[in-house]
Amino acid sequence: MTADSHDAPVVIIGAGLAGLTVALHLADTVPVIVLAKRELTEAATAWAQGGIVGVLGSDDSIDSHVRDTRQAGAGLVDEAAARFIAERSAAAVGWLVDQGVPFTPDDSGPLGLHLTREGGHAVRRIAHAADATGKAIHDQLLAAARRHPRITLRERWMAVDLITSRHVQRDEPPRVYGVYALDIDAQRVETLAARAVVLATGGAGKVYRYTTNPETSTGDGIAMAWRAGCRVANMEFIQFHPTCLYVPNAKPQDRGFLITEALRGEGGHLKLPEHLGGARFMAAHDERMELAPRDIVARAIDFEMKKHGLDHVWLDATHLGEAFLIEHFPTIHARCLALGIDIAKQPIPVVPAVHFTCGGAVTDLRGRCDLPGLYAVGETGYTGLHGANRLASNSLLECVVLGQTCAADILEQPAQDAAPIPSWDESQVENADEQVVIAHNWDELRLLMWNYVGIVRTTKRLERALHRIKLLRGEIDDYYGSFRVSRDLLELRNLVECAELIVRSALMRHESRGLHFSRDYPQTLPASFPTVLISKRRRR
């Protein structure tokens, strides 16, 4: 007997801003299951410091925001996507205000909010909650999701793979029927049938050795979409945040701590160390100096570090005053002070680190992937908004806008006959004998990506990286086929998938543009297009 697909829940993989936005817009109508592979509080959203774009001020306009987005995106921004999202930015911020998000107030500001400015923006248009905006947003939405009776939050559950037509062996156009999911604590894989599956797993920052991303950012959604037969695009454009706190031998909680772009937006200066004169250096790289887009600032810092043999450069905000810094950047002030750095009296040591994946699974402006029943929202998806480089604070905005349109589309879809879904088969595997294989391959992959596929690239380095990635992939696939799955194994499998997509995309781009800079192709071509990879399974 078949069942109506509307009897099944919507399964959302990921509990950050994108996933929770979708869930809260669906739950009054349909049941929702949200999977979080670690603690519910560990989503990348909670790490976001700067804020969310809102075209709110009288000195601002949709055209201005679109223009800034296009300029940052270096000619590869889809203008229709940028305009669609900019037009909905005020409503997105308003929705978060209605949810009770405690943005920093300003009685004279639009909606009573204080707006700050970040690199690449022509005006102040960033709504923020001091310097911990992501956490303020995530705490509020997570609390709302916990209260909702139709939202089931499953902590420490990880998606293994999507269930598609090839699993149910039906002679029909491909679609998605659900997901195989690992209960990490019970070490048991369950079969979750779904009316729709939403990939909201964030980016793939952990494919690199140094990143501002949390442990959750292992490219799970991108890899699953690719394995299911969906296109991915622009994976060569990996954004390196210019200013990550440099702490030698840092504890895990201090690794990758981001020094928000807003600190430069409020007047922070990038400087060389005192033994080199202690002067600002950005004027030699871009007329916008510290307010240049992230790719330019990151390359400038990388250039100065390599030129002078430095471990880091300095971000000096001492001239802003202690009272201002404590009011506007309390999180940064407290964290640095705990590490012996008083940012009101001394500069902050900073280095670039991987921050954002501009590419992802190709979607439309409703989050729809190539397979019916599958959606991707937030950093997992590629809408064309970010082009070759993401404009600061556009990421949280995209999560809210696409989260809303995704939910609306799911609710509009007609019912489909459900298919009998086979259970997960572990009959041919056994418990892993040695975990050291996973740990070794994880370390090797992240180090080779850092060394060979970093801020500045060469064809020779990329080819070497691809060769080694293919060998690693073979080892990982053998391991995956022989042993029961674990979170570490699944994350490693997804990371090596994303690493190959990044390198293949980078090899296809014979120019330097935005976040992709090649010494072999330093010029920027007069016309360029997104890099789109097509999965071998796409025609199945």
The DSSP-derived string for 409-433 is HHHHSPP-B----PPP--TT-B--S
The answer to whether 223 and 493 have CB atoms below 8 angstroms apart is: yes
The answer to whether 32 and 218 have CB atoms below 8 angstroms apart is: no
* Integer Cα distance of 314 and 507 in angstroms: 33
Which residue in the block uniquely carries the two structure tokens 């509080």?
Answer: 41
The answer to whether 352 and 517 have CB atoms below 8 angstroms apart is: no
From the candidates 264, 294, 299, 493, give the one annotated as an active-site residue.
Answer: 294
Structure tokens at 106: 């300003």
- With residue 505 as reference, give the H or E element that holds it: helix 487-508
Q: Which residues contact 424 (CB under 8 A, 6 or more apart)?
A: 160, 180, 189, 190, 191
* CA distances to 54, 218, 227, 392, 449 from 497, in Å: 35, 10, 9, 27, 13
How many C-beta neighbours within 10 Å does residue 332 have? 26
Residue 6: half-sphere exposure toward Cβ, Cα within 13 Å: 8
Q: Which of 217, 255, 45, 227 is nearest to 134 (CA)?
A: 45
Number of H helices, E strands in the chain: 15, 21
The answer to whether 205 and 212 have CB atoms below 8 angstroms apart is: yes
Helix (H, G, I), strand (E, B) or coil at 63: helix
* Integer Cα distance of 116 and 107 in angstroms: 14
In the DSSP assignment, the letter for residue 46 is G
* Integer Cα distance of 11 and 27 in angstroms: 11
* Integer Cα distance of 517 and 250 in angstroms: 29
Residue 173: half-sphere exposure toward Cβ, Cα within 13 Å: 5
CA angle, 264 as apex, 259 and 266 as ends, to 5°? 115
Single-letter code of the amino acid located at 18 = A
CA 514 to chain centre: 17
* CA distances to 233, 464, 531 from 508, in Å: 12, 15, 7
Residue 294 annotated among the catalytic residues of the structure: yes
CA angle, 219 as apex, 435 and 49 as ends, to 5°? 110
CA angle, 293 as apex, 289 and 295 as ends, to 5°? 110
Active site residues: 294
